[in-house]
Structure 1
Protein backbone atom coordinates (compact mmCIF):
# COMPACT_ATOMS: atom_id res chain seq x y z
CA UNK A 1 0.00 0.00 0.00
CA UNK A 2 2.78 2.39 0.95
CA UNK A 3 4.54 1.65 -2.32
CA UNK A 4 1.36 2.43 -4.27
CA UNK A 5 0.96 5.75 -2.47
CA UNK A 6 4.61 6.57 -3.09
CA UNK A 7 4.19 5.79 -6.76
CA UNK A 8 1.14 8.02 -6.97
CA UNK A 9 3.02 10.86 -5.28
CA UNK A 10 5.91 10.45 -7.72
CA UNK A 11 3.52 10.51 -10.68
CA UNK A 12 1.77 13.59 -9.29
CA UNK A 13 5.08 15.35 -8.69
CA UNK A 14 6.25 14.47 -12.20
CA UNK A 15 3.05 15.87 -13.67
CA UNK A 16 3.43 19.07 -11.64
CA UNK A 17 7.06 19.45 -12.72
CA UNK A 18 6.14 18.85 -16.36
CA UNK A 19 3.27 21.36 -16.16
CA UNK A 20 5.57 23.97 -14.62
CA UNK A 21 8.15 23.44 -17.34
CA UNK A 22 5.51 23.72 -20.05
CA UNK A 23 4.18 26.93 -18.51
CA UNK A 24 7.69 28.37 -18.37
CA UNK A 25 8.28 27.39 -21.98
CA UNK A 26 5.06 29.10 -23.06
CA UNK A 27 6.01 32.26 -21.16
CA UNK A 28 9.49 32.26 -22.69
CA UNK A 29 8.07 31.76 -26.17
CA UNK A 30 5.54 34.56 -25.74
CA UNK A 31 8.22 36.86 -24.36
CA UNK A 32 10.47 36.10 -27.32
CA UNK A 33 7.61 36.69 -29.75
CA UNK A 34 6.88 40.06 -28.18
CA UNK A 35 10.57 41.00 -28.15
CA UNK A 36 10.83 40.10 -31.84
CA UNK A 37 7.73 42.16 -32.62
CA UNK A 38 9.20 45.15 -30.78
CA UNK A 39 12.40 44.90 -32.80
CA UNK A 40 10.49 44.55 -36.09
CA UNK A 41 8.46 47.64 -35.29
CA UNK A 42 11.55 49.63 -34.35
CA UNK A 43 13.29 48.53 -37.55
CA UNK A 44 10.31 49.63 -39.64
CA UNK A 45 10.33 53.08 -38.03
CA UNK A 46 14.09 53.33 -38.57
CA UNK A 47 13.67 52.52 -42.26
CA UNK A 48 10.71 54.84 -42.77
CA UNK A 49 11.61 57.85 -40.64
CA UNK A 50 15.24 57.49 -39.61
CA UNK A 51 16.52 57.22 -36.08
CA UNK A 52 14.26 60.08 -34.94
CA UNK A 53 11.28 57.87 -35.72
CA UNK A 54 12.40 55.14 -33.32
CA UNK A 55 10.51 55.90 -30.12
CA UNK A 56 8.96 53.73 -27.46
CA UNK A 57 5.64 55.48 -28.00
CA UNK A 58 5.62 54.60 -31.71
CA UNK A 59 6.52 50.99 -31.03
CA UNK A 60 3.92 50.68 -28.28
CA UNK A 61 1.28 52.06 -30.65
CA UNK A 62 2.18 49.46 -33.28
CA UNK A 63 1.84 46.62 -30.78
CA UNK A 64 -1.28 48.08 -29.11
CA UNK A 65 0.53 48.21 -25.78
CA UNK A 66 0.97 50.85 -23.12
CA UNK A 67 4.41 52.44 -23.20
CA UNK A 68 4.92 51.25 -19.63
CA UNK A 69 4.42 47.65 -20.80
CA UNK A 70 7.45 47.90 -23.10
CA UNK A 71 9.73 48.30 -20.10
CA UNK A 72 9.25 44.60 -19.37
CA UNK A 73 11.16 43.95 -22.60
CA UNK A 74 13.50 46.92 -23.13
CA UNK A 75 15.02 49.22 -20.55
CA UNK A 76 14.89 52.37 -22.65
CA UNK A 77 14.98 53.81 -26.15
CA UNK A 78 18.78 53.51 -25.96
CA UNK A 79 18.37 49.79 -25.33
CA UNK A 80 16.18 49.58 -28.43
CA UNK A 81 18.77 51.44 -30.52
CA UNK A 82 21.45 49.06 -29.27
CA UNK A 83 19.42 46.05 -30.38
CA UNK A 84 18.96 47.61 -33.83
CA UNK A 85 22.66 48.40 -34.01
CA UNK A 86 23.74 44.89 -33.05
CA UNK A 87 21.28 43.47 -35.58
CA UNK A 88 22.66 45.73 -38.33
CA UNK A 89 26.29 44.90 -37.58
CA UNK A 90 25.48 41.19 -37.44
CA UNK A 91 23.57 41.11 -40.73
CA UNK A 92 26.31 43.14 -42.43
CA UNK A 93 29.02 40.77 -41.21
CA UNK A 94 26.95 37.71 -42.12
CA UNK A 95 26.60 39.01 -45.68
CA UNK A 96 30.37 39.42 -45.97
CA UNK A 97 30.97 35.96 -44.50
CA UNK A 98 28.50 34.33 -46.88
CA UNK A 99 30.16 35.92 -49.92
CA UNK A 100 33.62 34.87 -48.75
CA UNK A 101 32.51 31.32 -47.97
CA UNK A 102 30.93 30.96 -51.40
CA UNK A 103 34.30 31.57 -53.06
CA UNK A 104 36.26 29.41 -50.63
CA UNK A 105 39.85 29.46 -49.38
CA UNK A 106 41.56 28.36 -52.59
CA UNK A 107 41.05 31.74 -54.27
CA UNK A 108 42.07 34.33 -51.70
CA UNK A 109 42.05 37.37 -54.01
CA UNK A 110 38.62 36.26 -55.22
CA UNK A 111 37.36 35.75 -51.67
CA UNK A 112 38.59 39.19 -50.60
CA UNK A 113 36.97 40.76 -53.65
CA UNK A 114 33.69 38.95 -52.99
CA UNK A 115 33.69 40.00 -49.34
CA UNK A 116 34.30 43.66 -50.19
CA UNK A 117 31.65 43.51 -52.91
CA UNK A 118 29.17 42.16 -50.36
CA UNK A 119 30.20 44.91 -47.92
CA UNK A 120 28.92 47.53 -50.35
CA UNK A 121 25.91 45.55 -51.56
CA UNK A 122 24.47 45.03 -48.07
CA UNK A 123 25.03 48.70 -47.24
CA UNK A 124 23.17 49.89 -50.33
CA UNK A 125 20.31 47.48 -49.63
CA UNK A 126 20.00 48.65 -46.00
CA UNK A 127 20.76 52.38 -45.96
CA UNK A 128 18.88 53.10 -42.73
CA UNK A 129 20.73 50.40 -40.80
CA UNK A 130 24.03 51.48 -42.35
CA UNK A 131 23.26 55.06 -41.38
CA UNK A 132 22.58 54.05 -37.78
CA UNK A 133 25.87 52.17 -37.70
CA UNK A 134 28.12 54.63 -39.54
CA UNK A 135 26.23 57.89 -39.89
CA UNK A 136 26.06 60.91 -37.64
CA UNK A 137 26.05 60.11 -33.90
CA UNK A 138 22.63 59.96 -32.31
CA UNK A 139 22.40 62.82 -29.77
CA UNK A 140 22.61 61.51 -26.24
CA UNK A 141 23.14 57.89 -27.27
CA UNK A 142 26.36 56.02 -26.57
CA UNK A 143 26.61 52.51 -27.96
CA UNK A 144 27.78 50.07 -25.27
CA UNK A 145 31.18 48.79 -26.37
CA UNK A 146 30.64 45.38 -24.78
CA UNK A 147 27.63 44.79 -27.06
CA UNK A 148 28.74 46.44 -30.29
CA UNK A 149 32.50 46.48 -30.83
CA UNK A 150 33.12 42.77 -31.43
CA UNK A 151 30.33 42.44 -33.98
CA UNK A 152 31.13 45.79 -35.63
CA UNK A 153 34.68 44.73 -36.50
CA UNK A 154 33.71 41.33 -37.92
CA UNK A 155 33.80 42.32 -41.62
CA UNK A 156 37.19 43.98 -41.31
CA UNK A 157 38.54 41.10 -39.27
CA UNK A 158 37.36 38.57 -41.86
CA UNK A 159 39.07 40.45 -44.68
CA UNK A 160 42.20 40.90 -42.58
CA UNK A 161 42.23 37.17 -41.83
CA UNK A 162 42.06 36.35 -45.53
CA UNK A 163 44.91 38.75 -46.25
CA UNK A 164 46.96 37.21 -43.43
CA UNK A 165 46.49 33.79 -45.00
CA UNK A 166 47.58 35.19 -48.37
CA UNK A 167 50.67 36.66 -46.71
CA UNK A 168 51.53 33.36 -45.04
CA UNK A 169 51.19 31.58 -48.39
CA UNK A 170 53.65 34.01 -49.98
CA UNK A 171 51.05 35.57 -52.29
CA UNK A 172 51.74 39.19 -51.32
CA UNK A 173 54.20 40.92 -53.65
CA UNK A 174 57.42 41.73 -51.77
CA UNK A 175 57.97 44.91 -53.78
CA UNK A 176 54.51 46.21 -52.83
CA UNK A 177 55.27 45.52 -49.17
CA UNK A 178 58.65 47.26 -49.41
CA UNK A 179 57.11 50.30 -51.08
CA UNK A 180 54.49 50.62 -48.32
CA UNK A 181 57.12 50.15 -45.63
CA UNK A 182 59.08 53.08 -47.08
CA UNK A 183 56.10 55.42 -46.60
CA UNK A 184 55.10 54.20 -43.13
CA UNK A 185 55.93 56.59 -40.27
CA UNK A 186 57.11 55.21 -36.95
CA UNK A 187 54.01 56.17 -34.98
CA UNK A 188 51.62 54.53 -37.41
CA UNK A 189 53.84 51.46 -37.65
CA UNK A 190 53.80 51.12 -33.87
CA UNK A 191 50.01 51.34 -33.87
CA UNK A 192 49.74 48.65 -36.54
CA UNK A 193 52.16 46.41 -34.66
CA UNK A 194 49.97 46.79 -31.58
CA UNK A 195 46.89 45.90 -33.64
CA UNK A 196 48.59 42.79 -35.00
CA UNK A 197 49.56 41.70 -31.49
CA UNK A 198 46.11 42.42 -30.07
CA UNK A 199 44.29 40.48 -32.80
CA UNK A 200 46.99 37.82 -33.31
CA UNK A 201 47.47 38.75 -36.96
CA UNK A 202 50.69 37.18 -38.31
CA UNK A 203 51.45 40.33 -40.26
CA UNK A 204 54.18 42.99 -40.13
CA UNK A 205 53.17 46.65 -39.93
CA UNK A 206 53.53 47.30 -43.70
CA UNK A 207 51.14 44.44 -44.47
CA UNK A 208 48.64 45.73 -41.89
CA UNK A 209 48.95 49.14 -43.54
CA UNK A 210 48.11 47.68 -46.96
CA UNK A 211 44.99 46.02 -45.58
CA UNK A 212 43.88 49.14 -43.70
CA UNK A 213 44.48 51.28 -46.81
CA UNK A 214 42.24 48.96 -48.81
CA UNK A 215 39.47 48.88 -46.23
CA UNK A 216 39.50 52.66 -45.83
CA UNK A 217 38.98 53.04 -49.58
CA UNK A 218 36.13 50.54 -49.63
CA UNK A 219 34.39 51.93 -46.56
CA UNK A 220 34.85 55.53 -47.66
CA UNK A 221 33.40 54.77 -51.09
CA UNK A 222 30.46 52.97 -49.49
CA UNK A 223 29.74 55.82 -47.09
CA UNK A 224 29.74 58.36 -49.92
CA UNK A 225 27.47 56.21 -52.06
CA UNK A 226 24.96 55.31 -49.34
CA UNK A 227 24.67 58.95 -48.26
CA UNK A 228 24.19 60.15 -51.83
CA UNK A 229 27.50 61.99 -52.14
CA UNK A 230 28.59 60.06 -55.24
CA UNK A 231 25.35 60.59 -57.14
CA UNK A 232 26.36 63.95 -58.67
CA UNK A 233 29.59 62.36 -59.90
CA UNK A 234 28.71 58.85 -61.00
CA UNK A 235 25.44 56.94 -60.82
CA UNK A 236 25.05 54.04 -60.85
CA UNK A 237 28.46 53.38 -59.43
CA UNK A 238 28.73 49.63 -60.11
CA UNK A 239 31.44 49.88 -62.76
CA UNK A 240 33.30 52.49 -60.72
CA UNK A 241 33.30 50.21 -57.67
CA UNK A 242 34.41 47.15 -59.64
CA UNK A 243 37.39 49.14 -60.92
CA UNK A 244 38.15 50.17 -57.34
CA UNK A 245 38.10 46.51 -56.27
CA UNK A 246 40.57 45.61 -59.01
CA UNK A 247 42.85 48.40 -57.82
CA UNK A 248 42.47 47.27 -54.20
CA UNK A 249 43.66 43.76 -55.09
CA UNK A 250 46.66 45.27 -56.86
CA UNK A 251 47.52 47.63 -54.00
CA UNK A 252 47.32 44.67 -51.60
CA UNK A 253 50.08 43.08 -53.64
CA UNK A 254 47.87 40.15 -54.61
CA UNK A 255 47.56 38.53 -58.04
CA UNK A 256 44.34 39.40 -59.82
Structure 2
Protein backbone atom coordinates (compact mmCIF):
# COMPACT_ATOMS: atom_id res chain seq x y z
CA UNK A 1 0.00 0.00 0.00
CA UNK A 2 1.38 3.39 -0.99
CA UNK A 3 2.28 5.73 1.85
CA UNK A 4 -0.06 8.61 2.45
CA UNK A 5 1.10 12.20 2.06
CA UNK A 6 1.05 12.56 5.85
CA UNK A 7 3.16 9.43 6.29
CA UNK A 8 5.69 10.61 3.71
CA UNK A 9 5.97 14.02 5.35
CA UNK A 10 6.42 12.44 8.75
CA UNK A 11 9.19 10.21 7.41
CA UNK A 12 10.86 13.17 5.72
CA UNK A 13 10.81 15.13 8.97
CA UNK A 14 12.10 12.15 10.93
CA UNK A 15 14.96 11.74 8.45
CA UNK A 16 15.77 15.46 8.71
CA UNK A 17 15.85 15.22 12.50
CA UNK A 18 18.29 12.33 12.34
CA UNK A 19 20.51 14.09 9.78
CA UNK A 20 20.65 17.16 11.98
CA UNK A 21 21.49 15.12 15.07
CA UNK A 22 24.22 13.26 13.22
CA UNK A 23 25.74 16.53 12.00
CA UNK A 24 25.88 17.86 15.55
CA UNK A 25 27.39 14.58 16.72
CA UNK A 26 30.12 14.83 14.08
CA UNK A 27 30.83 18.50 14.73
CA UNK A 28 30.57 18.75 18.51
CA UNK A 29 30.39 15.24 19.92
CA UNK A 30 27.52 13.80 21.89
CA UNK A 31 27.26 16.95 24.00
CA UNK A 32 26.23 18.82 20.86
CA UNK A 33 23.23 16.56 20.25
CA UNK A 34 20.35 18.44 21.86
CA UNK A 35 16.70 18.84 20.98
CA UNK A 36 17.13 22.60 20.98
CA UNK A 37 19.92 22.42 18.38
CA UNK A 38 17.95 20.07 16.15
CA UNK A 39 14.80 22.19 16.42
CA UNK A 40 16.80 25.26 15.47
CA UNK A 41 18.14 23.48 12.35
CA UNK A 42 14.63 22.50 11.29
CA UNK A 43 13.15 25.90 12.09
CA UNK A 44 10.56 24.52 14.48
CA UNK A 45 9.80 24.79 18.18
CA UNK A 46 11.38 22.25 20.52
CA UNK A 47 7.90 21.18 21.57
CA UNK A 48 7.16 20.19 17.97
CA UNK A 49 10.00 17.64 18.04
CA UNK A 50 8.11 15.57 20.57
CA UNK A 51 5.76 14.52 17.78
CA UNK A 52 8.72 12.59 16.34
CA UNK A 53 11.05 11.72 19.23
CA UNK A 54 10.20 11.15 22.87
CA UNK A 55 13.39 12.64 24.29
CA UNK A 56 17.06 13.29 23.70
CA UNK A 57 17.66 9.69 24.79
CA UNK A 58 15.37 8.55 21.98
CA UNK A 59 17.42 10.62 19.55
CA UNK A 60 20.67 9.09 20.83
CA UNK A 61 19.21 5.63 20.40
CA UNK A 62 18.34 6.35 16.77
CA UNK A 63 21.90 7.57 16.16
CA UNK A 64 23.29 4.50 17.86
CA UNK A 65 21.15 2.10 15.84
CA UNK A 66 22.15 3.94 12.66
CA UNK A 67 25.85 3.66 13.57
CA UNK A 68 25.67 -0.05 14.38
CA UNK A 69 23.67 -0.71 11.22
CA UNK A 70 26.09 1.13 8.94
CA UNK A 71 29.05 -0.58 10.60
CA UNK A 72 27.50 -4.00 10.09
CA UNK A 73 26.58 -3.15 6.51
CA UNK A 74 30.19 -2.18 5.75
CA UNK A 75 31.53 -5.47 7.12
CA UNK A 76 28.87 -7.48 5.28
CA UNK A 77 29.58 -5.72 1.99
CA UNK A 78 33.30 -6.42 2.27
CA UNK A 79 32.75 -10.08 3.14
CA UNK A 80 30.20 -10.53 0.36
CA UNK A 81 32.56 -8.98 -2.17
CA UNK A 82 35.40 -11.27 -1.12
CA UNK A 83 33.19 -14.34 -1.30
CA UNK A 84 31.94 -13.29 -4.73
CA UNK A 85 35.55 -13.27 -5.90
CA UNK A 86 36.27 -16.69 -4.38
CA UNK A 87 33.54 -18.51 -2.39
CA UNK A 88 36.09 -20.98 -1.00
CA UNK A 89 38.62 -18.48 0.36
CA UNK A 90 37.34 -18.03 3.90
CA UNK A 91 40.60 -16.46 5.05
CA UNK A 92 40.27 -13.72 2.44
CA UNK A 93 36.66 -13.09 3.47
CA UNK A 94 37.61 -12.81 7.14
CA UNK A 95 40.47 -10.47 6.25
CA UNK A 96 38.14 -8.30 4.16
CA UNK A 97 35.57 -8.14 6.95
CA UNK A 98 38.11 -7.16 9.60
CA UNK A 99 39.66 -4.61 7.25
CA UNK A 100 36.22 -3.03 6.74
CA UNK A 101 35.60 -3.04 10.51
CA UNK A 102 38.53 -0.70 11.02
CA UNK A 103 38.01 1.35 7.84
CA UNK A 104 34.41 2.25 8.67
CA UNK A 105 35.34 3.11 12.25
CA UNK A 106 38.16 5.46 11.28
CA UNK A 107 36.00 7.14 8.63
CA UNK A 108 33.11 7.60 11.09
CA UNK A 109 34.92 8.42 14.30
CA UNK A 110 32.02 10.32 15.89
CA UNK A 111 29.59 7.46 15.38
CA UNK A 112 32.16 4.94 16.55
CA UNK A 113 32.74 7.10 19.61
CA UNK A 114 29.05 7.14 20.42
CA UNK A 115 28.93 3.36 20.08
CA UNK A 116 32.14 2.42 21.86
CA UNK A 117 33.41 5.49 23.68
CA UNK A 118 32.75 6.71 27.20
CA UNK A 119 29.18 6.15 28.39
CA UNK A 120 26.87 9.12 27.98
CA UNK A 121 25.90 10.29 31.50
CA UNK A 122 22.33 9.29 32.30
CA UNK A 123 21.77 7.46 29.04
CA UNK A 124 21.16 3.71 28.88
CA UNK A 125 20.89 2.16 25.43
CA UNK A 126 17.79 -0.07 25.14
CA UNK A 127 19.02 -3.61 24.66
CA UNK A 128 16.08 -4.55 22.49
CA UNK A 129 17.00 -1.90 19.93
CA UNK A 130 20.78 -2.08 19.99
CA UNK A 131 22.23 -5.50 20.81
CA UNK A 132 21.18 -7.32 17.64
CA UNK A 133 22.65 -4.65 15.37
CA UNK A 134 25.74 -4.15 17.54
CA UNK A 135 26.87 -7.78 17.29
CA UNK A 136 26.50 -8.09 13.50
CA UNK A 137 30.20 -7.68 12.62
CA UNK A 138 31.31 -10.20 15.22
CA UNK A 139 28.55 -12.62 14.24
CA UNK A 140 29.55 -12.44 10.58
CA UNK A 141 33.19 -13.21 11.34
CA UNK A 142 32.12 -16.02 13.67
CA UNK A 143 29.92 -17.48 10.94
CA UNK A 144 32.86 -17.47 8.54
CA UNK A 145 35.02 -19.25 11.08
CA UNK A 146 32.23 -21.77 11.63
CA UNK A 147 32.22 -22.42 7.89
CA UNK A 148 35.98 -22.94 7.92
CA UNK A 149 35.71 -25.29 10.90
CA UNK A 150 32.94 -27.32 9.25
CA UNK A 151 35.09 -27.70 6.13
CA UNK A 152 38.06 -28.89 8.16
CA UNK A 153 40.07 -25.78 7.37
CA UNK A 154 41.09 -24.98 10.95
CA UNK A 155 44.38 -26.62 11.92
CA UNK A 156 43.93 -29.27 14.62
CA UNK A 157 47.28 -28.44 16.20
CA UNK A 158 46.20 -24.79 16.57
CA UNK A 159 42.97 -25.88 18.25
CA UNK A 160 44.80 -28.25 20.58
CA UNK A 161 47.26 -25.54 21.55
CA UNK A 162 44.48 -23.01 22.24
CA UNK A 163 42.48 -25.57 24.21
CA UNK A 164 45.49 -26.20 26.45
CA UNK A 165 45.54 -22.53 27.49
CA UNK A 166 41.83 -22.24 28.31
CA UNK A 167 40.95 -22.27 31.99
CA UNK A 168 37.68 -23.93 32.97
CA UNK A 169 35.85 -20.69 33.66
CA UNK A 170 36.76 -19.11 30.33
CA UNK A 171 35.92 -22.31 28.45
CA UNK A 172 32.54 -22.43 30.17
CA UNK A 173 31.91 -18.84 29.21
CA UNK A 174 32.73 -19.53 25.57
CA UNK A 175 30.51 -22.63 25.59
CA UNK A 176 27.68 -20.49 26.97
CA UNK A 177 28.28 -17.91 24.23
CA UNK A 178 28.16 -20.62 21.57
CA UNK A 179 24.88 -21.93 22.97
CA UNK A 180 23.35 -18.46 23.33
CA UNK A 181 24.23 -17.40 19.79
CA UNK A 182 23.76 -20.86 18.24
CA UNK A 183 27.38 -21.06 17.10
CA UNK A 184 28.15 -24.69 16.18
CA UNK A 185 31.67 -24.37 17.56
CA UNK A 186 33.69 -25.79 20.47
CA UNK A 187 35.25 -23.47 23.01
CA UNK A 188 38.75 -23.42 21.42
CA UNK A 189 37.36 -22.14 18.11
CA UNK A 190 35.29 -19.51 19.91
CA UNK A 191 38.46 -18.53 21.78
CA UNK A 192 40.39 -18.04 18.53
CA UNK A 193 37.61 -15.81 17.17
CA UNK A 194 37.42 -13.76 20.37
CA UNK A 195 41.22 -13.44 20.43
CA UNK A 196 41.11 -12.02 16.90
CA UNK A 197 38.28 -9.64 17.63
CA UNK A 198 39.87 -8.32 20.82
CA UNK A 199 42.99 -7.42 18.82
CA UNK A 200 41.02 -5.81 15.98
CA UNK A 201 38.68 -3.85 18.22
CA UNK A 202 41.45 -2.80 20.59
CA UNK A 203 43.56 -1.55 17.67
CA UNK A 204 40.57 0.31 16.25
CA UNK A 205 39.69 1.96 19.55
CA UNK A 206 43.27 3.16 20.01
CA UNK A 207 43.39 4.53 16.47
CA UNK A 208 40.00 6.27 16.52
CA UNK A 209 40.66 7.89 19.89
CA UNK A 210 44.14 9.06 18.91
CA UNK A 211 46.06 6.78 21.26
CA UNK A 212 47.88 5.02 18.43
CA UNK A 213 49.07 8.19 16.71
CA UNK A 214 52.14 8.75 18.93
CA UNK A 215 53.23 5.19 18.17
CA UNK A 216 52.56 4.83 14.45
CA UNK A 217 50.80 7.06 11.93
CA UNK A 218 49.47 6.31 9.42
CA UNK A 219 48.60 2.87 10.73
CA UNK A 220 47.57 1.13 7.49
CA UNK A 221 50.67 -1.02 7.07
CA UNK A 222 50.68 -1.88 10.79
CA UNK A 223 47.06 -3.01 10.60
CA UNK A 224 47.64 -5.11 7.49
CA UNK A 225 50.44 -6.92 9.29
CA UNK A 226 48.11 -7.45 12.24
CA UNK A 227 45.51 -9.00 9.91
CA UNK A 228 48.07 -11.39 8.49
CA UNK A 229 49.04 -12.45 12.00
CA UNK A 230 45.39 -12.91 12.98
CA UNK A 231 44.66 -15.16 10.01
CA UNK A 232 47.77 -17.19 10.81
CA UNK A 233 46.74 -17.44 14.47
CA UNK A 234 43.30 -18.72 13.43
CA UNK A 235 45.05 -21.71 11.88
CA UNK A 236 43.23 -21.51 8.56
CA UNK A 237 44.35 -23.80 5.78
CA UNK A 238 44.03 -22.69 2.17
Q: State whether TM-score is above 0.5.
A: yes
Aligned to 1:92: 71
Q: Distance between the aligned counterparts of 2:134 and 2:48, measured in 1?
A: 31
Aligned to 1:216: 198
Aligned to 2:174: 192
Q: Does the 8 A contact of 1:249 with 1:255 survive in 2?
A: no
**What is the deviation of 1:199?**
1.3
State whether structure 2 residue 67 is matched by structure 1 residue 67.
no
Aligned to 1:76: 55
Q: Distance between the aligned counterparts of 1:188 and 1:212, measured in 2?
A: 11
**What is the deviation of 1:95?**
0.1
Q: Which stretch of structure 1 is more off in the superposition, 192-201 or 28-37?
A: 192-201
Q: Which runs of 5+ in 1 are unaligned?
A: 1-20
Aligned to 2:105: 123
State whether structure 2 residue 143 is matched by structure 1 residue 164.
no
Q: Distance between the aligned counterparts of 1:199 and 1:73, measured in 2?
A: 34
State whether structure 2 residue 43 is matched by structure 1 residue 54.
no
Aligned to 1:207: 189
Aligned to 1:229: 211
Decide which structure has the larger Cα Rg and report it. Answer: 1
Q: Distance between the aligned counterparts of 1:204 and 1:111, measured in 2?
A: 21
Q: Distance between the aligned counterparts of 1:116 and 1:250, measured in 2?
A: 14
The runs of at least 4 consecutive aligned structure 1 residues that moved more than 6 Å come to none
Q: Distance between the aligned counterparts of 1:78 and 1:224, measured in 2?
A: 27
Q: Does the 8 A contact of 1:210 with 1:251 survive in 2?
A: yes
Q: Does the 8 A contact of 1:99 with 1:111 survive in 2?
A: yes
Q: Distance between the aligned counterparts of 1:76 and 1:202, measured in 2?
A: 41
Give the alignment's Cα RMSD to 1 decimal: 1.1
State whether structure 2 residue 108 is matched by structure 1 residue 142.
no
Aligned to 2:236: 254
Write the deviation string for residues 96-149 of structure 1: whole angstroms up to 9, x where unpaired. 000000011321000000000000000000000000000000000000000000
- Equivalent residue of 1:73, what SS? coil
- Equivalent residue of 2:4, what SS? helix
Q: Which runs of 5+ in 2 are unaligned?
A: none
**What is the deviation of 1:198?**
1.3
TM-score (norm 2): 0.97
Q: Distance between the aligned counterparts of 1:122 and 1:32, measured in 2?
A: 26
Aligned residues: 235
TM-score (norm 1): 0.90
Q: Distance between the aligned counterparts of 1:199 and 1:91, measured in 2?
A: 22
